[in-house]
Amino acid sequence: MPDIKIVTEVAGRVCALPIEVGGSVGDGDDVAFVEAMKMEIPVASPAAGKLKSILVSLDDVVAEGQVLAIVET
């Protein structure tokens, strides 16, 4: 089973992580929200599977293109 990286397309602050490690995610499910310019931008999973790891914490500042989590398909 390959690992899929979930990457943010915007820089900002992680304001929500609605799914816990080990939880199931569907293709397009939101796994994080990044606050940028006073808006909450969802970061979606590109594939269905199980959330293997979360590489950030709430209130972390992230850069554009940073990997936030890993999904095991």
Q: What tens digit of pLDDT does each residue of 5-26 get?
A: 999 999 999 999 999 999 999 9
Taking the C-alpha atoms of residue 1 and residue 42, their distance in angstroms, rounded to an integer, is 25
> Domain residues for 55?
3-72
Question: Identity (one letter) of the amino acid at 20?
Answer: E
Residue 1 has pLDDT above 80, yes or no: no
Q: Sign (positive/negative) of CA torsion 27, 36, 68, 19?
A: negative
Taking the C-alpha atoms of residue 69 and residue 25, their distance in angstroms, rounded to an integer, is 12
Q: What was the pLDDT predicted at 61?
A: 98
Q: What was the pLDDT predicted at 40?
A: 97
Work out how many domains the chain is built from and give that number.
1
Task: Report yes or no on whether pTM surpasses 0.85.
Answer: yes
Residue 62 has pLDDT above 80, yes or no: yes
What's the pLDDT tens digit per position in 26-56?
Answer: 999 999 999 999 999 999 999 999 999 999 9
Look up the CATH number of the domain holding residue 54.
2.40.50.100
